[in-house]
Structure 1
Amino acid sequence: MGEAKRRSSQGLPPKGIKSSGARPADTSPRIVPWLPLSRNQADRFVKLTTNAAWVGIGALVLFWVAVRFIGPAAGWWTLADGRVARF
């Protein structure tokens, strides 16, 4: 006997549908009515790109420190202007 028939024969209500972990619908207003982009999505995009920019700036600083100071100090290469990196 199937679950639905068993529940109806016992007088039980139909089994509820489980949520499959889907996100709730975005009810924020759209930026432009013809563009499928809501304000929440635009705000998340701005936050994501701002964080990515800061990560990029940090990576650039680490790369510059490695090229300017760590590499010459370790003897991996010399600088083109002939200066020696001193700590």
Structure 2
Amino acid sequence: MGEAKRRKETLGEKYGQQERIMPWIPITKNQAELFVAWTTRGAWVGIGGMVVAWVTIRFIGPAFGWWHVVD
């Protein structure tokens, strides 16, 4: 008997289903990995946006004479 058949007999109904992080949490490991990937990407986008805003406020604004608004 092959390993796949043994595994199928052992797991029964759960054979072929994705494994959950914890039995009581309905989130699979793949969903958790996707969540981490998306939030990491979102954090980098936020950091980039903050840098652009800082450069705009710090350098571009005063160059156009908006320095009195910041003071």
Instruction: Tell me if TM exceeds 0.5.
Output: yes
Structure that is richer in helix per residue: 2
Unaligned 5+ segments in structure 1 are: 1-25, 81-87
Amino acid at match of 2:41: N
Q: Indicate the residue corresponding to 1:72 in structure 2.
A: 62
Taking the aligned partners of 1:53 and 1:27, their CA distance within structure 2 comes to 31
Q: Greater CA radius of gyration, 1 or 2?
A: 1
In the TM superposition, structure 1's runs of 4+ consecutive aligned residues that sit over 4 Å from their partners are: none
Unaligned 5+ segments in structure 2 are: 1-15
Q: Indicate the residue corresponding to 1:23 in structure 2.
A: none
Q: Over aligned residues, Cα RMSD in angstroms?
A: 1.7
Q: How does 1:55-70 map to 2 (within 5 A)?
A: 55-70=45-60
Q: Return the TM-score normalized by structure 1.
A: 0.58
Fraction of identical pairs, as percent? 55
